[in-house]
Amino acid sequence: MLVNADLHIHSCFSMATSKDMLIENIAPKSLEKGLKLVGTGDAFHPKWLDIIRQSTEYKGDGIYSRGDCDFVLTTEVEGKHKVHHVIIIPDLDIAHELSAKLVSSNKFIDGRPKTPLGGAELLELVREYDCMIGPAHSFTPWTGMYKYYDSIYDCYDKRPDFVELGLSADTDMADCIKELSDFVFLSNSDAHSPWPHRLGREFNQIEMDDVSFSSLKKAFKHKTVKANYGMLPNLGKYHMTACTKCYKLVDPIIAKENKMICSCGGRIKKGVDYRISEIADFSQPKHPSHRPPYVHLMPLGELISMVYDKGVTTKTVQGIWQKMVDNFGPEIDVLIKTPLDEIEKIDSDVSLAIQGFREKTLNITPGGGGKYGEISFSEDFNKTEKKESVTTLDSFF
């Protein structure tokens, strides 16, 4: 069976997350996005584990369900050198035991615990409990594994179970690195709120025997991820080298010559695009035979926001989004499968926006330095006599 899975999100207990990140809200919104399996996030936080136990029904083999939405226990941990790791856990009892064993000063405060343990130590610890582990948003300049290490084996010593790409990278970029050719790639949302333009903005389509922890582990081992879905990487907020204060894009060579200090006095952060070029073995991607397609997405809410020149969380935008989903099914179907003439019957301008997304005619200003990229319509859209607008993706995180 094919399962759409977003395996990295956060709960209301992580810093800078919505208080609405509760199972009762995540489950229905996940289904509307077209997801079947969702990582719980924050599974080393005792209070969140209690909420999971109270809010779900245990189906066995690591799966906790709320209605038709299934959850598997996951957490993100910040380890040595501020490198972030995603861990997938077999059940609540193991999550409690590992949480108790993890050396961390903030695990009762923040859903994303910090520990002095390095990647190799974390791998050894969680593998004792049959967990899976891999680097979170591997290339991002603040907390990605490749931010500090030039090789994944320098971090983990042994081979981890997967590599999460992050919002600022995709398969074409990662497959320029030879050592990653044997790894399963994951594209996950890292969502901090249940808004539909955040939750499920990236996900994976996985061939599984059934929805279970064992089947997920088998899928990674046998590389049966059939597709990765995710944002265009240049919309990611760390895609290009840029200033973290004024967000001006800066040539990486010039940035290094100026000791990574911008003319405005702000700090320049190396972009994912340039970081990958530094460690790449190939100038063009070399995809292994097991590598599935990477399908680029733009959240439907952002497209509607552009059409109406209103915030993505406004009643207008959310109302139209809900109408689209109610009429045509999950958001992924609206974006990719639903005939444009059917969408046009509900909203002709939104139909044009989706057409622009499908035909890749939307304008994109790349993101960097902590600011998401900007998307705007091409000149053709102005023929509808709508006001031209630009919307940023800064509200994503």
List, for residues 78-122, the tens digit of each pLDDT value: 999 999 999 999 999 999 999 999 999 898 999 999 999 999 999
Q: Please name which of 308, 303, 321 lies closest in space to residue 384, comparing C-alpha atoms.
A: 308
User: Quick one: 39 and 175 in the same domain?
Assistant: yes
Count of structural domains within the chain: 2
Domain CATH number, residue 131: 3.20.20.140
Q: Is residue 288 scored above 50 in pLDDT?
A: yes
User: Quick one: 66 and 155 in the same domain?
Assistant: yes
* pLDDT band at 381; cut points 50, 70, 90: low
User: Quick one: 57 and 192 in the same domain?
Assistant: yes
Dist. CA 23–CA 50, nearest whole Å: 11
Q: Is residue 391 scored above 80 in pLDDT?
A: no
User: Quick one: 208 and 71 in the same domain?
Assistant: yes
- Give the pLDDT confidence score for residue 242 in this predicted structure: 98
- On whether the CB atoms of residues 303 and 312 are closer than 8 A, the answer is no
Q: Is residue 390 scored above 70 in pLDDT?
A: no
What b/e sequence results for 157-184 when a residue is b if at least 16 CB atoms lie within 10 Å of its CB, and e otherwise? Answer: eeebbbbbbbbbbbbebbbbbeebbebb
Token pair of 198 as six digits: 């955040």
User: Quick one: 316 and 228 in the same domain?
Assistant: no
Q: Is residue 389 scored above 90 in pLDDT?
A: no
Give the CA dihedral 113, 216, 148, 250, nearest 10 degrees: -100
Q: Is residue 76 scored above 90 in pLDDT?
A: yes
Higher-pLDDT residue of 387 and 232 is 232
Domain membership flag for residue 240? no
- On whether the CB atoms of residues 296 and 231 are closer than 8 A, the answer is yes
Domain membership flag for residue 381? yes
Domain membership flag for residue 319? yes
pLDDT digits (tens, 9 = 90+) for 167-196: 999 999 999 999 999 999 999 999 999 999
Q: Please name which of 155, 117, 121 lies closest in space to residue 135, comparing C-alpha atoms.
A: 155
Mean pLDDT of the chain: 94
Range of the domain at 307: 300-396
- Give the pLDDT confidence score for residue 380 in this predicted structure: 56
What single string gives the DSSP state of each residue in 194-244?
Answer: --TTTTTSSEEEEE-SSSSHHHHHHHHHTT-EEEEEEE-GGGSTTSB-EET
Dist. CA 282–CA 216, nearest whole Å: 31
User: Quick one: 206 and 334 in the same domain?
Assistant: no
Domain membership flag for residue 104? yes
* pLDDT band at 379; cut points 50, 70, 90: low
